[in-house]
């Protein structure tokens, strides 16, 4: 049996590591590529979900973090810092714990999901809540790394994108070819840039005969790339992608244009509805931001060429933010009854 060794060992020759780099891994990557009969039927093609919530800390961030923390540890860092809407911090703190590094986390006050906050706290971080959004947190994180002995591991650290590109490799390895179209949510715009990098590298190496069109979706209230200018006060209940001035803006625009793709917006209502449908129809429970790609496909289904192979990255696990998920549902407990089989059968609709 082949034991999955984490993305550094699985894709070592594609990554900026040397034999001396300590490998800090939780076995990330190797996530399921799940066929969606529901979405395939809608577009009359084949739609595959890359389920990144199955990573060790519940999001795609682990791919970039194993790389960034390994390199930082190899360079002798003692402390690491990130700004985050929650997932980067959950991931960084876990890998920092394994590497014995001190984790410092900057998050927007009151705007990160409870599950993500719990992760950072349990992994031993000092969590600093700023009176500001993600963009301000990132500025302070950059300044900290410049003025103090602490390494920055946000996706402005190029090693992060190198690790994240391995998801493209896995998709091509699984399908035997690149998809025609790849769809994913866009926040700070690192992931779309990383996927594009990965697809290009595999095509250049002859491991795929084509590259996909890249379609990114932002939340309507936080859609700077769609608008063409920064959003000073970004809003969306998909807090993971509540970003007004993405660090990888130019890379994302290049991915869009070079792939003949698009970056568009979906509303919070479309996001919540896609999240709910994905969970109830396909058994895949993702956090709100992670459903933005599915919402985008549903909205743009008419412009998909029939017969296309489509990969959609669903970026993070639904359990990270149960509060937002349940806010769109009428009631958590449908019925409270006495201990009685007939009453149970009745409310369950069996009689
Ligand atoms: N989906 C989820 C669940 C995320 O957490 C993020 C980003 C994205 C999508 C967007 O990816 O930023 O590479 O365009 N979360 C960052 C964080 C901002 O701090 O966890 P992106």
Q: What is the pLDDT of residues 190-219, one digit of tens each?
A: 999 999 999 999 999 999 999 999 999 999
* CATH, domain range 7-58+159-327: 3.40.50.1100
Q: How far apart are CA 67 and CA 7, in angstroms?
A: 8
ipTM of the complex: 0.99
293: Cβ below 6 Å to ligand 1?
A: no
Which CATH code of 2.120.10.70, 3.40.190.80, 3.40.50.1100, 1.10.150.130 fits the domain covering 61-158? 3.40.50.1100
pLDDT of residue 335: 83
Please check the confidence at residue 94 and state whether its pLDDT lies above 70.
yes
Q: How far is the CA of 240 from the centre of ligand 1 (A)?
A: 5
Task: State the pLDDT confidence band at 176, using cuts at 50, 70 and 90.
Answer: very high
Task: State the pLDDT confidence band at 332, using cuts at 50, 70 and 90.
Answer: low
pLDDT of residue 333: 63
86: Cβ below 6 Å to ligand 1?
A: yes
Whether 187 has a binding-site annotation, put simply, is: yes
Within 93-240, strands assigned E span: 102-108, 126-130, 151-152, 181-185, 213-219
Task: State the pLDDT confidence band at 118, using cuts at 50, 70 and 90.
Answer: very high
**Do the domains 7-58+159-327 and 61-158 sit in the same CATH topology, yes or no?**
yes
Q: How far apart are CA 296 and CA 182, in angstroms?
A: 11
Mutate to test the pocket of ligand 1, among 240, 275, 319 (most ligand atoms within 8 A of CB): 240
C-alpha angle 68-191-132 in degrees, rounded to nearest 5: 85
Q: How far apart are CA 5 and CA 106, in angstroms?
A: 30
Alpha-carbon distances, residue 47 vs 252, 268, 302 (angstroms) = 23, 23, 14
- Domain spans in the chain, listed from the N-terminal domain onward: 7-58+159-327, 61-158
pLDDT tens-digit map of 213-229: 999 999 999 999 999 99
pLDDT of residue 331: 61
290 membership: H or E segment, kind and range: none
Whether 189 has a binding-site annotation, put simply, is: yes
Ordered DSSP codes for 13-44: GGSS--TTS----S------EEE-HHHHHHHT
The model scores a pTM over 0.90: yes
Ordered DSSP codes for 322-349: HHHHHHTSS-SS-----S-HHHHHHHTT
What mean pLDDT do residues 124-153 have?
Answer: 97
Mutate to test the pocket of ligand 1, among 81, 104, 187, 246 (most ligand atoms within 8 A of CB): 187
**Atom in ligand 1 nearest the alpha carbon of residue 191:** 13
């Amino acid at each position: 049996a082949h034991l999955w060794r984490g993305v550094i060992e699985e894709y070592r020759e594609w990554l900026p590591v040397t034999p001396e780099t300590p490998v800090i891994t939780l076995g990330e990557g190797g996530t399921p590529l799940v066929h969606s009969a529901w979405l395939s039927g809608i577009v009359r093609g084949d739609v595959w979900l890359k389920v990144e919530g199955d990573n060790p800390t519940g999001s795609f961030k682990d791919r970039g973090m194993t790389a960034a923390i390994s390199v930082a540890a190899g360079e002798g860092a003692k402390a690491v810092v990130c700004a985050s809407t929650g997932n980067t911090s959950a991931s960084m703190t876990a890998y920092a714990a394994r590497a014995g590094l001190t984790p410092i986390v900057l998050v927007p006050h009151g705007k990160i999901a409870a599950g993500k906050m719990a992760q950072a706290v349990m992994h031993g971080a000092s969590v600093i809540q700023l009176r500001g959004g993600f963009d301000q947190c990132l500025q302070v994180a950059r300044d900290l790394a410049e003025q103090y002995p602490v390494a920055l591991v946000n996706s402005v650290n190029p090693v992060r994108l190198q690790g994240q590109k391995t998801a493209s490799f896995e998709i091509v390895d699984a399908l035997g070819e690149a998809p025609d179209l790849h769809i994913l949510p866009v926040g700070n715009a690192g992931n779309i840039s990383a996927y594009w990098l990965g697809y290009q590298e595999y095509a250049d190496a002859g491991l795929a005969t084509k590259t996909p069109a890249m379609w990114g979706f932002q939340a309507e209230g936080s859609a700077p790339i769609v608008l063409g200018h920064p959003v000073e006060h970004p809003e969306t209940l998909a807090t993971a992608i509540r970003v007004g001035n993405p660090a990888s803006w130019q890379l994302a625009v290049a991915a869009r244009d070079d792939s003949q793709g698009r970056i568009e917006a979906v509303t919070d209502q479309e996001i919540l509805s896609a999240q709910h449908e994905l969970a109830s129809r396909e058994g895949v429970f993702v956090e709100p931001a992670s459903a933005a790609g599915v919402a985008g496909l549903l909205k743009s289904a008419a412009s998909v060429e029939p017969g296309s192979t489509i990969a959609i990255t669903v970026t993070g696990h639904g359990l990270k933010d149960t509060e937002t998920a349940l806010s769109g549902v009428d009631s958590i407990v449908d019925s409270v009854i006495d201990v009685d089989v007939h009453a149970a059968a009745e409310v369950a609709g069996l009689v």
